[in-house]
Chain A
């Protein structure tokens, strides 16, 4: 168990380091830099060169990378090249706003889709299964901005009960943001739920056909008890990874939805930073996304272990 844990943590750190290098290189490859973007069309070559020097862009890439990564290890992500504010605080503010969406989305998507997936699995090839499977297939195929647009048309334009966009800046309070959270969360939940529903359905079908469930039934246990006590934990196992991947996607990939709703979250900050070539901000967000991604996977692995007796005992005792 312990060796497994250590191995997982070491590989997680390795993933983080690798992704930080890849992100750095990818950003270097973007056409144009912050100096040209900030100074605009009227800039003389001298002015661009001066600004580059001032921003330290004239130093070799590996040197800037080293400087950045050592700062990041100390919790210092540098200052934004555009707003000249510390990156850490800025990113934290946007991240907090996104977390609000994420929490609501996860609550919606995970609980809702698990229930639907289990129902579909239990009613395999009967009408509830057909209905749920078809709807989730549609949800899977439609891009999130289309879902978002349809939701806006329905709940902001036709029946105006929820705001279509967020009009406050990043400094908005939770109270101001709360009414605006539902539509983005619903858009994300719909797209995200489809995968979980299908995964949960398959797992439930597999488990219900397995020998130990048959045995449990033969022992005379009620269907409810068989499902909750025996089938569900096993069915949840493979689903956990899908959920973890989706949660990670949620943090890194909400850009499109946040943009449609003008929601001041991390995805929107990422987009404007890429457009501005604001390197320190891009790198900080990428690193945070990588951390979340790695943590989600780690959590899923540990969760699997807790649920799977075989995995639990292989590396030694857990209790």
Chain B
């Protein structure tokens, strides 16, 4: 699979493989048809079938796992040039959380939680951050973890030779030459400009801590401080990690994890149904397949709630979306609840055009109600009374087309005519994304609010898929970063969300639960955002 697609597989718009997705709809439909139900197809026609959620469980099996055993995970390979270097755009994502730790991670409540850093505090103006690091932590080769490793990790990410996707986020803030390590367990990070949410940027999965000086070897050795250590790894092939007994947070429940790369989603589902693997990683199963799996006596479905948000980005630099009234009309015209029901069978939360997930502490529900009449009115004022636009989708993700068709139907009631056009899946993100004025895409949640808003909505940023540029919005983000009062800062992020909803170019109909296929033996599966609990997951009867 292309590195590019990998790159998107967990970070931005996911999905590992162009082709796997190509055969997916057809095969899924074939299975669904064969077993007498195709929820996906009824979703396509815009008619939500009667409470199909009943067929798909909302949680994985309950209970405690037994100690030991080997968990077998099927994952989409990142690329034929995969590496274990966490900072790389080609990193094999599933290995990272097993092999490494970060300084900080995102807790289940959406706040920044300790990992290798036990505590952190800014100076009065939030221009210098001091991290106190955990003691008694060792790398898998026995060496002690110190502040030198933490500082080296940051320098490695910022090194242009690494070409890390997180470098553009951190480099405007961090000067690698000014990092200080006053003692073995203190890291001081002076910032180029104040940032009260700086630690949240280090929760990214490119920020896993690697040993000092390991840039050349880390891609093969995978030496970290994580709960598992590397036994074998082959790019786009199989690999194995085994429990690291000296892990600082205790030994993991499992003895080992086997990773297998399976590019095609249908093949991954088949492997689960046949009992060859226990968990499908990075796989948002479509509803028809999820029902087939849930009906099996070997496997079932667990959910990562609101794991991704779906978007119809409007390029604000292309007509007719240059006119803010048209953008507002496009948002008022459709009913998010309808799209949620039709495209996801209700397995998620309505987005109401705000990309900040409902479980994020800063989330603001400041949306106007669905109002087709007001949409018509705005379009008339803008001189686009009979608006007709092309909406691009592809089979890259199974939800794109159902979402586009549901939007078409919903917006049609407000007099907007949408022509749904299907583009090739494997060049979708190079030829359609950020090039066509209106298309379908999605992102994984788990991005802290500061990174989300700055990366995807700030004028001029590389992931700004709507090319929206609003000085007031950018200024709000700057003010929020400087604001050291947490309550005040939350308010500012709230105002920024309101601007995204009122003026921005992103139609955000919904957050989708990721439907994860797991074996009925799996216990303790927990995943949110980019966090996966490798420590407590285990097997019953292992």
Q: A residues engaging B (CB < 8 A)?
A: 30-32, 36-42, 47, 80, 82-84, 145-146, 149-150, 152-153, 156-157, 160, 163-165, 167-171, 256, 259-262, 268, 271-272, 274-278
A38 contacts across to B, CB distance below 8 A: 2-4, 81
Query: Does B463 have its Cβ within 8 Å of any Cβ on chain A?
Result: yes
**Between A and B, how many residue pairs show CB distances below 8 Å?**
158
Given contacts A164-B276, A168-B238, contact A260 B81 (CB under 8 A): no
Q: Is the CB of A170 within 8 A of B271?
A: no
Q: Is the CB of A171 within 8 A of B79?
A: no
Query: Does B277 have its Cβ within 8 Å of any Cβ on chain A?
Result: yes
Query: Does B261 have its Cβ within 8 Å of any Cβ on chain A?
Result: yes
Tell me the complex Cα distance, A302–B163, Å: 56
Partner of B237, one of A153, A157, A171, A256: A171
Tell me the complex Cα distance, A165–B270, Å: 7
Q: Is the CB of B3 within 8 A of A82?
A: yes
Query: Does B168 have its Cβ within 8 Å of any Cβ on chain A?
Result: yes
- Which A residue sits closest to B160, measured CB to CB? A47
Q: B residues engaging A (CB < 8 A)?
A: 1-8, 12, 17-20, 23, 26-27, 30-31, 34, 72, 74, 79-81, 89, 163, 165, 168, 234-238, 260-264, 266-268, 270-271, 273-277, 296, 424, 426-427, 429-431, 433, 462-463
Partner of A261, one of B8, B235, B267, B463: B267
- Which B residue sits closest to A152, measured CB to CB? B270
Q: Is the CB of A169 within 8 A of B237?
A: yes
Partner of B23, one of A40, A169, A256: A256
Q: Is the CB of A275 within 8 A of B5?
A: yes
B6 contacts across to A, CB distance below 8 A: 40
Given contacts A165-B267, A167-B277, A260-B267, contact A32 B431 (CB under 8 A): yes
Partner of B81, one of A47, A83, A160, A274: A83
- Which B residue sits closest to A261, measured CB to CB? B267
Q: Is the CB of A260 within 8 A of B271?
A: no
Given contacts A36-B430, A146-B30, A153-B34, contact A268 B273 (CB under 8 A): no
Q: Is the CB of B262 within 8 A of A145?
A: no
User: Which of A31, A80, A259 has the most CB atoms of chain B within a 10 A radius of its CB?
Assistant: A259
Report A259 CB to chain B, min CB distance, Å.
Answer: 5
Partner of B7, one of A40, A145, A170, A259: A40
For the complex of A and B, the 10 pairs showing the least CB-CB separation, nearest first, are A169-B237, A164-B274, A156-B274, A40-B7, A40-B4, A164-B270, A32-B430, A167-B260, A37-B2, A165-B271
Tell me the complex Cα distance, A256–B263, Å: 12
| Contacts A31-B424, A163-B274, A268-B263 known; 16 new A-B pairs at CB < 8 A | A31-B427, A38-B4, A41-B463, A42-B462, A145-B23, A149-B34, A167-B74, A168-B238, A169-B261, A170-B237, A256-B23, A260-B23, A260-B267, A275-B2, A275-B18, A276-B2
Tell me the complex Cα distance, A146–B89, Å: 35
A146 contacts across to B, CB distance below 8 A: 27, 30
- Which B residue sits closest to A42, measured CB to CB? B165
Tell me the complex Cα distance, A261–B276, Å: 12
B263 contacts across to A, CB distance below 8 A: 259, 262, 268, 272
Q: Is the CB of A171 within 8 A of B23?
A: no
Pairs across A and B, CB under 8 Å, 27 listed? A32-B427, A36-B430, A37-B4, A38-B2, A40-B3, A40-B4, A41-B429, A42-B168, A80-B80, A82-B80, A145-B30, A146-B30, A152-B273, A163-B274, A167-B74, A167-B276, A168-B237, A169-B261, A171-B234, A259-B263, A259-B264, A260-B267, A260-B270, A268-B263, A272-B19, A275-B1, A276-B80
A157 contacts across to B, CB distance below 8 A: 270, 273-274, 296
Report A30 CB to chain B, min CB distance, Å.
Answer: 7
Tell me the complex Cα distance, A259–B462, Å: 34
Tell me the complex Cα distance, A161–B450, Å: 52
Tell me the complex Cα distance, A230–B234, Å: 56
